[in-house]
A and B are shown apart, each in its own frame.
Chain A
Amino acid sequence: MTDFSPQIVAFCCNWCSYAGADLAGVSRFQYPPTARIIRIMCSGRLEPQFVLRAFELGADGVLVAGCHLGECHYISGNERAKQKVAKTQELLDVLGVDSRRLRLEWISASEGIKFAETMDEFTKQLIELGPSPLMGGA
């Protein structure tokens, strides 16, 4: 399946990762145009429902990106994001969606290159995993 282009929904926190994505853009780093970025104020704002709904509507992968641990703008929001992502991954596995399709990354505002690399790597991984099983994939 070489012509499969995965659809990624990326939830980026306002203070680090969204700015990181911005930096990747203004620095003209190349990365695959597979992600639809949704800005959230903090990665801790993420609800399992956001992820589930994204998959229900046909996403092949979901990326959650926030500030590095200890550097959260709201002190410990990203710790919560970590817990929520862990339980959502467990739930996805039981539902028959590979938990690798949900990825958590810490990307700071200065790490434009990390953002581009993450998108690149995640896209490659999703191409390997194929289309979402909820949309008729394996």
Chain B
Amino acid sequence: MSKIKEIIEDTGAFDCVECGKCTSLCPVAKRNPNFAPRLIVVKAQEGMEEEIKADKGIWSCITCEICNDMCPYKVDFSGFIQRMRGEAMEYGNKPICSQAGAVHTMERMTGMGQKQKRLAWLKDDLKVREKGDVFYFTGCVYQLGILYEDRAPELKQIPANMVKILNAAGIEPVVSDKEVCCGHDLLWSGDEESFEKLMRQNIKTIQETGAKTVIFACAEGFRTFDIDYKEFFGDLGFEVKHISEYLMDLVNQGKLQLSGNGSKVTYHDSCRLGRHEGIYDEPRDLIKATGVDLVEMASNREKAICCGVNAFVNCGEVSKMMQVDRMLEAKETGAETMLTFCPKCVIHYNCLLSSEKKPPEIEGLHIKVKEATNFIAENLKGGGEAN
């Protein structure tokens, strides 16, 4: 049986009734008339393998899962795209990566057996352990903060701020410099082999520390562990939690106290945390717990507009249009800051906001896009000063 048939079976693409609901809701199809999720599935069903393997359209999908959410027959379209990309790569249908693929190379380089200095952010006043119950998986935010220092330097502060928040709640997390990248971008750019290699290293590292819970500040890392690692590896032997859930529990138990300055903010649901994982309430509750005025944008929760780029493979005109639309929605709310838990969203929106030639629609726009972990750390009761 051909691999494509297998993919069609596994992702339920066989059930597609060609209703076209996915295409009508797809944010890419709306802006790029040459792209249609429905057509990609239909081509695969009709056995037009060669065509689909050469189709650049599979790289245009931003895997935001609006289609999955709305499909009446529950076709796993993003899963279909994820696996088709692996197939396409084998046939030389390669994506055009942002920054010439620096992010992907950097991620592969983390797992080449050298001794990393991954904990370069760790300062003396932060309390961490080598073994314990709670493992904090930092991911590559620090590295991304270096690579994208021109647009999102705040990413470098996330790991230290995260440990600071946990310390304030009396928790000393385990961190490890043996950790490697989660492999999210490699998986979504069709490099399953490197993904699996990194996955095995990570699971081994975490299991060796004896951690029972692994927490993530990054929405993509969380999704990758929670969905992809479980699919590729099976039972992980530990629980995975996003910090919005984890910190909200601590707030409810009274262990973590937050206090803010009452500014007006809005929250952007990243696709990984929202539609992929279904976490909508906890981030909002957590942000509200700081005492800020949280206002909603016109499209929110499962209808949120995506940042327009997936795994750094498809940044282009469509991405920019989506970012502009999102920024205009944020402007409508009158908020000063747009918060999100996804570091990649921060990079992509700031790419638009910091560009020298801005689209005329957003000229003079004053909204800031900020990572929510850093925001929480700034609003800790008692230790209000951020790192």
- In chain B, what residue has the closest Cβ to A136? B113
A35 is an interface residue with CB less than 8 A from chain B: no
B101 is an interface residue with CB less than 8 A from chain A: yes
A33 is an interface residue with CB less than 8 A from chain B: no
Known interface pairs A94-B142, A95-B106; 13 further A-B residue pairs with C-beta atoms within 8 A, sorted by A's residue number: A47-B99, A47-B102, A49-B100, A49-B101, A49-B102, A50-B100, A52-B106, A53-B101, A55-B109, A56-B109, A94-B120, A134-B109, A136-B113
Q: Which of B14-22, B69-77, B143-151, B253-261 contacts A (4 or more CB under 8 A)?
A: B143-151
B105 neighbours in A (Cβ, 8 Å): 49, 52-53, 56
B143 near A95 (CB under 8 angstroms)? yes
B114 is an interface residue with CB less than 8 A from chain A: yes
User: Contact check: which of A53, A90, A91, A96 meets B114 at CB < 8 Å?
Assistant: A96
Work out how many contacts link A and B, with CB atoms closer than 8 A.
63
Give the A-binding residues of B (Cβ under 8 A).
99-102, 105-106, 108-110, 112-118, 120, 142-143, 146-147, 149
A94 near B109 (CB under 8 angstroms)? no
A95/B114 contact (C-beta < 8 A), A55-B109, A87-B147 known? yes
A94 near B112 (CB under 8 angstroms)? no
B115 near A94 (CB under 8 angstroms)? no
Query: What are 8 sample pairs from A and B whose C-beta atoms fall under 8 A apart?
Result: A48-B102, A56-B109, A87-B146, A91-B146, A94-B116, A94-B143, A96-B118, A97-B109
A128 is an interface residue with CB less than 8 A from chain B: no
Cα distance A26–B117 in the bound complex, in angstroms = 43
Cα distance A55–B109 in the bound complex, in angstroms = 9
B146 neighbours in A (Cβ, 8 Å): 87, 90-91, 94
A95 near B147 (CB under 8 angstroms)? no
A91 near B117 (CB under 8 angstroms)? no
Q: Considering the complex, which residues of chain A in the window 35-49 have a beta carbon less than 8 Å from any beta carbon of chain B?
A: 47-49
A133 neighbours in B (Cβ, 8 Å): 112-115
Cα distance A47–B99 in the bound complex, in angstroms = 7
| Chain A residues within 8 Å of chain B by Cβ, number | 19
B115 near A96 (CB under 8 angstroms)? yes
- In chain A, what residue has the closest Cβ to B121? A94
A55 neighbours in B (Cβ, 8 Å): 109
B110 near A95 (CB under 8 angstroms)? yes
A136 neighbours in B (Cβ, 8 Å): 113
Say how far A119's CB is from chain B's closest CB, in angstroms.
25
User: Contact check: which of A50, A56, A91, A97 meets B147 at CB < 8 Å?
Assistant: A91
Say how far B347's CB is from chain A's closest CB, in angstroms.
14
A71 is an interface residue with CB less than 8 A from chain B: no
Say how far B239's CB is from chain A's closest CB, in angstroms.
28
Closest 8 CB pairs of A and B: A133-B114, A49-B102, A49-B100, A96-B116, A96-B114, A52-B105, A134-B112, A91-B146
Cα distance A49–B103 in the bound complex, in angstroms = 8
A134/B147 contact (C-beta < 8 A), A49-B100, A56-B105 known? no
Say how far A136's CB is from chain B's closest CB, in angstroms.
7
User: Contact check: which of B100, B101, B116, B149 meets A95 at CB < 8 Å?
Assistant: B116
A96 near B117 (CB under 8 angstroms)? yes
- In chain B, what residue has the closest Cβ to A55? B109
B99 neighbours in A (Cβ, 8 Å): 47-49
B114 neighbours in A (Cβ, 8 Å): 95-97, 133-134
A94 near B118 (CB under 8 angstroms)? yes
B115 neighbours in A (Cβ, 8 Å): 96, 133
- In chain B, what residue has the closest Cβ to A97? B114
- In chain A, what residue has the closest Cβ to B116? A96
B100 near A91 (CB under 8 angstroms)? no
Q: Considering the complex, which residues of chain A in the window 87-113 have a beta carbon less than 8 Å from any beta carbon of chain B?
A: 87, 90-91, 93-97
Cα distance A87–B146 in the bound complex, in angstroms = 6
B110 near A47 (CB under 8 angstroms)? no
A93 near B100 (CB under 8 angstroms)? no
User: Contact check: which of B101, B109, B120 meets A93 at CB < 8 Å?
Assistant: B120
- In chain A, what residue has the closest Cβ to B103? A49
Cα distance A133–B111 in the bound complex, in angstroms = 11
B113 neighbours in A (Cβ, 8 Å): 133-134, 136
Cα distance A49–B149 in the bound complex, in angstroms = 15
Cα distance A48–B143 in the bound complex, in angstroms = 12
B116 near A91 (CB under 8 angstroms)? no
A47/B100 contact (C-beta < 8 A), A93-B120, A96-B116, A133-B115 known? yes
A93 neighbours in B (Cβ, 8 Å): 117, 120
Cα distance A119–B365 in the bound complex, in angstroms = 50
B142 near A52 (CB under 8 angstroms)? no
User: Contact check: which of A52, A94, A134 meets B102 at CB < 8 Å?
Assistant: A52
Say how far A110's CB is from chain B's closest CB, in angstroms.
32
Say how far A44's CB is from chain B's closest CB, in angstroms.
14
